[in-house]
Chain A
Amino acid sequence: MEQTDKKIPLDWDALEVGETFEKFEYVLTQEMIDGYREGVMDPEASFPTISHKVDVRQYNAKYTDDGSVNARCAFHCYNPPVAGKKLTVTAWIADKYLRRGKNYIVTEAVSVDEDGRLIDRVITHELKQPSEVGKKWGG
């Protein structure tokens, strides 16, 4: 269970671009890969790391906020991950910006496996006022 009482309420103004989070490690199992491929209806899907949302995982472990909506996401493919290998993720705050009065945070992460193979890079722009989705697009 996450220790929500130890999390820091997000102060968007104070958030520092360049803040780098503690490295996150996990083992990508065949079961994870199979579930991902079934979910995306693609038996050859090569980057199951996408569903792990590793770029925001450490942010979410450190900060509390009102939630977020993914506004934009870029994914760079370097080498498909291999089942059973430990992946190490380095994530950081790449940018933040205001657009139309709304706050955005850009996180970036790079994954490398235990053999030193570069796996992927993901860059995500998150809108930090998720209720805008309901306001704009309704139920």
Chain B
Amino acid sequence: MGEQLRNIQIDDDITPLVKEMSQESINLFEGSAGQTGPSQFTDEHAARETLGTEGTVASGRMSLTFAIEMLRKYFGSDVFNHTGVVDLRFLRPVRPGDTITFSGKVSEMSREANGSKVTVDIQAQNQKGDTTGVGKGSAIVPNAFLPAED
């Protein structure tokens, strides 16, 4: 279970998530779907040909996965795995050797038919402080998770 037992409030900070990127982890991610041929993610030559970069990059979907992990841990699996959404824009390449820190802050809450939609602003930064991705995530939480209305 995540942190949902406490009250959720606007401006709550989400516990950051830090990921050390490696070529091995990228290869595992790509290989898990049966992608065994050279690609911009796994092969330097392919990256140079396709992207014009000197090295490989990580799929944006890895960053998407990490943002999902951060929010799953915040909302709890029971909530996030059934109502969670993450929408990320990828601003800079993430490369092997990068350390990416995902952070978030609760920005909005609105009543829905089956609970309340809690929206989180998400940011991902590399070890240089450059923003690699931004976006929003949300989940529908039971109203009991929120502060009582006046």
Contacts and interface: CB of A to CB of B under 8 A. Distances in A.
Interface string B42-82: 00000010111111010111101110110010000100111
B92 interface: yes
Contacts of B68: 45, 47, 50, 75, 77
Given A36-B29, A36-B32, A137-B93, A42 B51 contact: no
Size class of the A contact interface (CB-based, 8 Å): 35 or more
A133 B94 CA distance: 11
B27 A71 contact: no
Given A79-B82, A133-B93, A51 B29 contact: yes
Interface string B10-44: 00000000011000011111111111000010000
A76 interface: yes
Interface of A: 32-36, 38-42, 44-48, 50-53, 66-67, 69-80, 123, 130-131, 133-135, 137-139
Contacts of A73: 60-61, 64, 87-88, 90
Closest 6 A-B residue pairs measured CB to CB?
A134-B52, A139-B54, A39-B28, A35-B32, A39-B29, A70-B60
A42 B65 contact: yes
B87 A50 contact: no
A135 B20 CA distance: 26
Interface string B116-144: 00000000000000000001000000000
A131 B51 contact: yes
A77 B51 contact: no
Contacts of A76: 84-85
B33 A72 contact: no
A77 B80 CA distance: 7
Nearest to B66: A40
A47 B61 CA distance: 11
